[in-house]
A and B are shown apart, each in its own frame.
Chain A
């Protein structure tokens, strides 16, 4: 379609060139009414070319918008898992993506909580083992130094037995807790897959938006419309979220050491 339009622009240029030669010829031979006629023809050609261009851009814009909508319908069909009825209430790929991201939040939150549950239930077990071992060790040292009464020795004998049993049970508990923590990390695989798919969708949508914007931009340029550029900079107060400083922006600090350096340079 753009080559069609270019050829029309080419036609207009040819008309102007030919007209200019004719105009000079008419003026040279003194045919002024002929010359004015040519000027009028050129003016008409300019108008026609302008209208053609506007018409072409309007069509392109219309097509781009329609394609975008069609893509949304197609997105619905793709996400509708088995449903082929685009008019049904099946979610669009965008709402689907949003659901998927919510799923990521749920999964990561659940994994974090389960992991912390396991840590919470392991810490007292480890503390108890430590306390018992310390107490036994104290008496064990006295045994080595032959500093125990026979009754104390019999007590220690029994306590060692209890302790070994408790150690065995505790090790099993800790082992199970560690295994649960390990399995909980499976969220990374599942959420990773979800995020990869959402990423693909965002790239798709971006491509189509870029096309739409470029067509709309050409309409603006030929119609002379100007839009005030909005200040897109987000308010620092509202926050920006985690800094993923891929481009090594000097305005973004990368770690605690850099933050500490900045603060100490401010007299902290």
Chain B
């Protein structure tokens, strides 16, 4: 299980990376916005994408849409971890096909719960 963490702040990437490690996911890679994330995704080695919304260059919602529009990547589960909390934005993310939405500041429990839920769904769909 290889996870790509996309956030423009290195501290937030590190927090998420550490929390994921605690949950047993040790294989992680990082990118600082959608533009740098997309080529990594296109290598086809990423099983799970955790992305922020508000980033310079390509934003998280644009990245999500790009992933869903890509024939090879469209089934990749995407968890949004972001400070963006407008009703319309959450609806937009849901419509774009996000698998989970965690608002910052978040707790380790919230992150764990959403990730587990995503994997449960994927497993039951198999």
With A243-B84, A263-B90 known as contacts, the answer to whether A253 contacts B103 (CB < 8 A) is yes
Interface digits, B79-112 against A, CB 8 Å rule (1 contact, 0 not)? Answer: 0001111111111101000000111101100100
With a cutoff of 8 Å between Cβ atoms, the chain B residues found around residue A250 in the complex are 87
Contact status B86-A262, CB under 8 Å? no
With a cutoff of 8 Å between Cβ atoms, the chain B residues found around residue A263 in the complex are 90, 94, 101
Number of A-B contacts (CB under 8 A): 84
With a cutoff of 8 Å between Cβ atoms, the chain B residues found around residue A2 in the complex are none
Within 8 A of B (CB), among A252-268: 252-256, 259, 262-263, 266, 268
Contact status A252-B18, CB under 8 Å? no
With A263-B94, A263-B101 known as contacts, the answer to whether A240 contacts B86 (CB < 8 A) is yes
- A146 sits at the interface (CB 8 A): no
- A164 sits at the interface (CB 8 A): no
Interface size class of A (residues with CB under 8 A): 20 to 34
With A252-B86, A262-B91 known as contacts, the answer to whether A113 contacts B62 (CB < 8 A) is no
Q: Which of B54, B88, B101, B107 contacts A259 (CB 8 A)?
A: B101
With A113-B11, A237-B61 known as contacts, the answer to whether A259 contacts B85 (CB < 8 A) is yes
Q: What CA separation (Å) do A237 and B89 show in the bound complex?
A: 8
- A24 sits at the interface (CB 8 A): no
With a cutoff of 8 Å between Cβ atoms, the chain A residues found around residue B101 in the complex are 259, 263
- B35 sits at the interface (CB 8 A): no
Q: What CA separation (Å) do A252 and B83 show in the bound complex?
A: 11
Contact status A237-B62, CB under 8 Å? yes
Q: Which of B9, B11, B53, B89 contacts A116 (CB 8 A)?
A: B11
- B14 sits at the interface (CB 8 A): yes
28 residue pairs A–B, Cβ–Cβ below 8 Å: A109-B11, A112-B14, A112-B15, A113-B10, A113-B14, A116-B15, A119-B18, A120-B18, A236-B61, A236-B92, A237-B59, A237-B92, A238-B54, A239-B60, A240-B54, A241-B54, A241-B83, A242-B104, A245-B85, A252-B85, A252-B86, A253-B86, A253-B87, A259-B85, A259-B101, A259-B102, A262-B87, A263-B90
Binding site for A on B (CB under 8 A): 9-11, 14-15, 18, 53-55, 59-62, 82-92, 94, 101-104, 106-107, 110
